[in-house]
Amino acid sequence: MDSIALKFTLHALIALAISATPAAALEQNCRFIQAKPDREACYKRQEDELAAKRKPAAPAADESKTLETMRQMRQDDDAVYRSINNICRGC
């Protein structure tokens, strides 16, 4: 009976340790750093990370392929419309 409780407790502690570690690593409070150059470097890192998160993703190759396909379809449609205009409809 004790081994089951011990295993459960061990697994619970491991899960807690794994889930708590990334949260502590992500949060960095720069205002508590005493040395001014280190504190400013911390603020700069945070600013760069935030700017990287806000930066829009570069257009993918799929988008350029889609635009090329749309342009080709438009050219084909124009060619069909030009050929239709030459047909006599009242003959």
pTM of the model: 0.35
Per-residue model confidence as pLDDT tens digits over 58-74? 656 677 788 899 999 99
Number of domains in the chain: 1
Contact 39, 33 (CB under 8 A): yes
| pLDDT greater at residue 6 or residue 42 | 42
Cα 91 from Cα 74, distance rounded (Å): 30
pLDDT of res. 89: 66
- DSSP string computed for 1-59: -HHHHHHHHHHHHHHHHHHHHHHHHH---GGG--SHHHHHHHHHHHHHHHHHHHSPPPP
pLDDT score of 27: 53
Residue 64 maps to a domain: yes
Q: Is residue 91 part of a domain?
A: no
In a domain, 77, yes or no: yes
